[in-house]
Amino acid sequence: MVQRAFLAAALAAVLPLWAPAQSPKAPPDPLDGPPFVTAKAWAVADGKTGKLLGGGRETEPRPIASTTKVMTAWVVLGLAEADAKVLDEIVTFSDRADKTGGSSSNLLAGDRLPVHDLLYGLLLPSGNDAAVALAEHFGPRFRGDKPAGTDPVSLFVAEMNRRAKALKLADTTYLDPHGLAKNLSTAKDLAVLAATALGSERFRKYVGTREYACDVTGADGKKRPVTWENTNRLLGTEGYDGVKTGTTTPAGACLIASGRRGDDHLIVVILGATSTDGRYTDARNLFRWGWHQKGVKPETPAKAAADPLSLAGAVVVVDPGHGGQGYSKNYTGGTKGVSSGRTEGALNLAVGLELAAVLRAKGAAVFLTREADHRLSREGGTRADELNARVDFLDHFNPHFFLSVHHNAGPAAATGHTALYKNNAADDTLYEALARDVNAALDGAVPGPTRKLIRGDYHVLRETAIPGTIAESGFMTNKAFDDLSGRPDFPKAEAAAIADGAVRYWTAHKPALVALRDKLAKERAAHPRDPSTFAAVDLNPAFREKIGTLVDEVDPADKPDPAKVADYVAAFKAATKPKTFDVTAAYDGKKIKLAGTADKASHDTLLDLLVAMKLYAITNDVRIAP
């Protein structure tokens, strides 16, 4: 262990926290700088005026997917402003509307319902079919000097473009009313549009509704109930009240979001996030940054602002280690419960998700390496690929520190908990302290004893300069622990303990962590990595584009359904023409079961495809052909 005097000298040289003969200076607030996001373009705007507070590539035209439907609804509601009876008009679904691909309201040709109901089908489940039905119904009202018989959808789309021009959305072009075509706009333009639309009480009501039920009259004259749920997950959190999601392969994951604190209102626009989950993480961090720019203090959770042990300002990566154990034939790491058979990956994930929630409630900006049971690198990759994928997330988000959730293996009687810290640091101060705080916090939350910390030569700890720890919170090979960890309340208890350790650490070392993060950010800016070298598939644009193209071929409707897995496998075989491929696929209501024989390359690509489609629950009995 380095001597205390040398530690102080080394820390003073690298992280100048003290100045002679004067009071310590307050560290720079990390929220003063631009937030870290996965989105290709973003904007934060004042919700009342649409005035931009900040952005990244906010004036770059990009595909916008179903955020298109904000304008679709705005055109219809514009007619309703002039004559409210418009909302009572009956729309009859055509074959064309019924056959529209992608996200759907699941209505059928011949179905009839009022406009005021159909707008919910447009905006909540993001019904592409509803967009066509509305465009067909209202398009003829915008015919102008066009000849009779002109396609009503094209007339409606022309009106959308006129409205965009009237709002001075100079970089916005609509080709359809739903977003399946390559409609283009910018994050800045969409913020202006959202601010305008949210001025309408009717629009606010639609986009702020989480679930809506109504009756639809079928072609046979019989009524049946339908229920639509809003795709915007932020609506489940206090303070968020709209606006619209959107996802296609060209556009990536998109989101226009509205948030309020008291009388203040922000709009956040995200275009091209790396994943559906990523866009919500981006949104939360952008809102946090936007409120900070406006000087608006947090209201929820109320304790965060008053808690002296708050994590406000901290940026944290949570890594629920060892995913994909259920399907992968390559390295995932991890063990299994000695009696339950539950994978470590499943337990890690349960604790990791709870940990992220607790840290966010304490004010931290949190990024997860995974939010479902899958590998971080592509199937067929090496042990190093899977470990390097974690380092990729750290390089990408540059957190103040990271927390990796693991559980141990050992003899049947082995018990207790420990934590690992960096083995190759010139100064252990910021590395050992986190491991010590987390390990101490676990005492009492998981079975003891509190074991000695491990200064281990572990890949992730070795390959990054970012402080972090790997918590080994109990032995899955111990039956008592295996039984305990299977209780529904256990993940939350373990997560709360780890979070308490993180709070202690942030409180004691915030100035040093802020200074180190700033230093590392400058180093990365001077020597940026090529994203195509990332082992983490969610961060590698070349891989995402390649697998996204295959997803489009296999599931052109963009509505993955595990019950259709046999069709997907058949389409995969037709699209890729593999060397050896005799694979059967079935779904039993809980898991997809793969069996048969395949060459390694096609086997690995099939697994990557299913994971990209978010079909994670897989039993993989495919034999790899020699």
Q: Which residues are catalytic?
A: 66, 69, 126
Cα–Cα distances in angstroms (integers) from residue 29 to residues 55, 313, 429, 496, 513, in the given order: 19, 7, 22, 26, 11
Q: CB 305: neighbour CB atoms within 10 A? A: 13
Cα distance between residue 591 and residue 598, in whole Å: 20
User: Residue 249 corresponds to which amino acid?
Assistant: T
Q: Name the one residue in this structure whose structure tokens are 């699941």.
A: 106
Helix, strand, coil percentages, rounded to 5, for the chain: 45, 20, 35
Record the tokens describing residue 423, joined without a space. 């083995």
Cα–Cα distances in angstroms (integers) from residue 392 to residues 34, 50, 396, 514, 515, in the given order: 20, 35, 6, 20, 21
Cα distance between residue 246 and residue 242, in whole Å: 13
Cα distance between residue 253 and residue 277, in whole Å: 9
Q: In what order do the strands lie in the sheet with 592-598?
A: 581-587, 592-598, 618-624
Record the tokens describing residue 615, joined without a space. 């079909």
Give the relative orientation of helices 565-576 and 541-554 as an angle to the nearest 10 degrees.
110
Record the tokens describing residue 186, joined without a space. 């910018």
| CA neighbor of 236 nearest in space, from 191, 283, 202 | 283
Cα distance between residue 478 and residue 413, in whole Å: 6
Is 619 within 8 Å of 327 (Cβ atoms)? yes
Cα distance between residue 122 and residue 140, in whole Å: 20
Cα distance between residue 182 and residue 493, in whole Å: 47
Rg of the chain over all Cα atoms, to the nearest angstrom = 26
Q: How many CA atoms within 13 Å lie on the side-chain side of 282?
A: 29
Cα distance between residue 294 and residue 317, in whole Å: 26
Q: CB 413: neighbour CB atoms within 10 A? A: 10
